[in-house]
């Protein structure tokens, strides 16, 4: 028998005028007679990091019992639908020192203290960048660094520590912090555009044309669709519709920004939604698309920077986050911070649902990745770096079922970093103060 089917390349893209759109993983990318073994081999392991600032109210975070069957606490309650994919980890300590808040964000992935300086930055290579060096060889972008707040602070942010420490959690080298992008339009154009400018005038011109980048690849999309089976046609259609939907949402946000131009409010970058939850969901959707199209396998995401004074009117919290986090055991302030913490986990639950609903190889994106969620301090009132609030989601953690609360004694967060990197196929001997991997 002669086999005529030719598998599509995993790196195949649709090119149009000023646009390059990567494809999701399709059945047609499996070689003929490759079977489930080839299908499994084609799926890549991915690493995500989601950071929340200003600590967490630990009594409302930490489960009372260990092992399987633990009861979800108020802050973790939004994540209960993902019990089987979760590991809640207690007792992991961060490095002490490096500034109350500058130290929190810096040590989270580097496991070293920030150097005391308002001008000279020095830390260490962060855990995500070890993964990016290895996994980035297979993708267009080695990693993405995203955030929900801009980099509009300079100078000293934390008692003599540069704002560069609180504006990022990712470090390519000891003296090279990576900037975090918070503008969805800029992220979208980086992923799917032609690498052109994201200057405001250029964005305004694009709004005037009201033209999707997908319009420039219509003919190529139709040609590809004719070569695909029914399952792949449906999968590609869903993927392209997701791309178009994000374009629409970015455009709506930009139009809202334009109408607010004469209103005396704090200026926001074009394309950033006015509501925090809309912004977060849009950035999470962009991450799903980046993973789905295999443009990158490593993403770090800050849901807020340390010392953030953001308010959350979406949940009727009008007090600034950072000063409220210094609760001084005031029950009202404690309740407010816990409410913010729960809002963050509810948005993280949205991300996990999107990952779980996105097919990837013989499973879902959530099945084939690890996501680290947490903060660089526990008790915000004391700026404590001990027993940090940490959880790990995703199926790439190994064959042991999730749904567990694991309590460690005498372990540092960097030991977990070694374990996570090993699970995604990037073994590293040491990160910061690490000693040996921990069991997850």
Q: Specify the length of the chain in residues.
A: 440
**Highest mean predicted confidence (pLDDT) among 136-140, 196-200, 201-205, 213-217:** 136-140
Q: Which of 2-11, 163-172, 248-257 has the lowest mean pLDDT?
A: 2-11
Other C-beta atoms lying within 10 Å of the C-beta of residue 69 = 11
Mean pLDDT within 331-340: 97
Residue 440: which of 367, 384, 391, 379 has the closest Cα? 391
Question: DSSP assignment, residue 72?
Answer: P
Per DSSP, helices labelled H in 167-275 are 184-192, 200-209, 218-227, 230-259
Cα 388–364–244 angle (5° rounding)? 100
For residue 239, the SS3 value is: helix
What are the angstrom distances between the C-alpha of 346 and each of 101, 236, 352?
24, 29, 10
Q: What is the pLDDT of residue 2?
A: 40
Instruction: Tell whether the model's pLDDT for residue 4 goes beyond 50.
Output: no
Per-chain mean pLDDT for the chain: 84
Token pair for 431: 């990160």
Instruction: Tell whether the model's pLDDT for residue 257 goes beyond 80.
Output: no
Every domain of the chain with CATH number 3.40.720.10 lies at: 43-182+276-288+295-440
Q: How confident is the model at residue 41 (pLDDT cuts 50, 70, 90)?
A: very low
Q: What is the pLDDT of residue 110?
A: 97
Instruction: Tell whether the model's pLDDT for residue 50 goes beyond 80.
Output: yes
Instruction: Tell whether the model's pLDDT for residue 18 goes beyond 90.
Output: no
List residues bridging with 92 in a β-sheet.
Answer: 411
Q: Which of 48-62, 112-126, 174-188, 240-254 has the lowest mean pLDDT?
A: 240-254
Number of H helices, E strands in the chain: 12, 14
Token pair for 340: 């913010």
Q: What is the pLDDT of residue 54?
A: 95
Mean pLDDT within 27-47: 60
Token pair for 206: 């694009």
% of the chain surpassing 90 pLDDT:
55
HSE toward the beta carbon, residue 298, CA cutoff 13 A: 25
HSE toward the beta carbon, residue 120, CA cutoff 13 A: 3
Residue 389: which of 84, 129, 47, 50 has the closest Cα? 50
Q: What is the pLDDT of residue 400?
A: 65
Q: For residue range 380-418, list pLDDT tens digits in order.
A: 999 999 999 999 999 986 666 789 999 999 999 999 999
Q: What is the pLDDT of residue 196?
A: 42
The gap between the terminal CA atoms of the chain, to the nearest Å, is 48
In CATH, 43-182+276-288+295-440 is 3.30.450.20 = no
Question: For residues 185 and 42, which has the higher predicted lDDT (pLDDT)?
Answer: 185
Q: What is the pLDDT of residue 253?
A: 67
Question: DSSP assignment, residue 371?
Answer: E
Q: What is the pLDDT of residue 412?
A: 96
Q: How confident is the model at residue 233 (pLDDT cuts 50, 70, 90)?
A: confident
Distance (Å, whole) CA 69 – CA 157: 42
Q: What is the pLDDT of residue 270?
A: 46
Distance (Å, whole) CA 138 – CA 150: 29
Other C-beta atoms lying within 10 Å of the C-beta of residue 209 = 8
Mean pLDDT within 426-430: 94
Strands (E), 44-84: 46-51, 67-68
Q: Which of 30-44, 91-105, 174-188, 421-435 has the lowest mean pLDDT?
A: 30-44
Residue 303: which of 242, 393, 374 has the closest Cα? 374
Q: What is the pLDDT of residue 38?
A: 40
């Amino acid at each position: 028998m002669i086999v005529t089917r030719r598998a599509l390349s995993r790196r195949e893209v649709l090119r149009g005028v000023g646009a390059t759109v990567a494809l999701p993983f399709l059945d047609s990318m499996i070689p003929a007679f490759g079977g489930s073994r080839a299908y499994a081999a084609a799926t890549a392991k991915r690493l995500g990091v989601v950071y929340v600032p200003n600590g967490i109210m630990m009594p409302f975070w930490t489960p009372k019992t260990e092992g399987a069957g633990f009861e979800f606490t108020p802050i973790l309650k939004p994540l209960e639908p993902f019990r089987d994919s979760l590991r809640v980890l207690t007792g992991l300590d961060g490095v002490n020192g490096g500034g109350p808040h500058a130290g929190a964000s810096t040590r989270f992935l580097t496991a070293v203290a920030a150097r005391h300086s308002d001008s000279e930055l020095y830390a260490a290579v962060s855990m995500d960048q070890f993964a990016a060096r290895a996994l980035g060889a297979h993708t267009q972008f080695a990693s993405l660094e995203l955030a929900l707040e801009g980099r509009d602070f300079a100078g000293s942010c934390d008692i003599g520590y540069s704002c560069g420490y609180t504006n990022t959690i990712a470090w390519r080298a000891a003296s090279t912090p990576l900037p975090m992008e918070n503008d969805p339009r800029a992220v979208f154009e980086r992923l799917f555009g032609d690498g052109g400018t994201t200057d405001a005038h250029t964005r305004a011109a694009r709004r005037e044309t009201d033209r999707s980048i997908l319009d420039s690849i219509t003919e190529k999309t139709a040609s590809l669709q004719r070569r695909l089976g029914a399952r792949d046609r449906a999968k590609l259609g869903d993927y392209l519709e997701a791309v178009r939907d994000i374009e629409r949402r970015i455009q709506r946000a930009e139009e809202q920004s334009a109408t607010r131009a004469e209103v005396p409010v704090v200026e926001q970058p074009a394309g950033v939604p006015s509501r925090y939850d809309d912004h977060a969901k849009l950035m999470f959707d962009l991450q799903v698309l980046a993973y789905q199209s295999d443009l990158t396998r490593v993403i770090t995401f800050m849901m807020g920077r340390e010392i953030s004074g953001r308010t959350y009117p979406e949940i009727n919290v009008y007090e600034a986050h950072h000063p409220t986090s210094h609760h001084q055991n005031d029950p009202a302030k404690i309740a407010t911070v816990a409410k913010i913490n729960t809002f963050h986990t509810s948005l993280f639950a949205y991300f996990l649902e999107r990952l779980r609903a996105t097919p990837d190889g013989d499973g879902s994106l959530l099945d084939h990745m690890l996501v680290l969620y947490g903060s660089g301090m526990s008790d915000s009132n004391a700026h404590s770096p001990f027993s940090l609030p940490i959880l790990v989601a995703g199926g790439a953690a190994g064959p042991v079922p999730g749904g567990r609360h694991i309590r460690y004694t005498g372990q540092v967060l960097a030991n977990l970093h070694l374990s996570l990197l090993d699970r995604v196929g990037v073994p590293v001997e040491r990160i910061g103060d690490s000693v040996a991997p921990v069991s997850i």
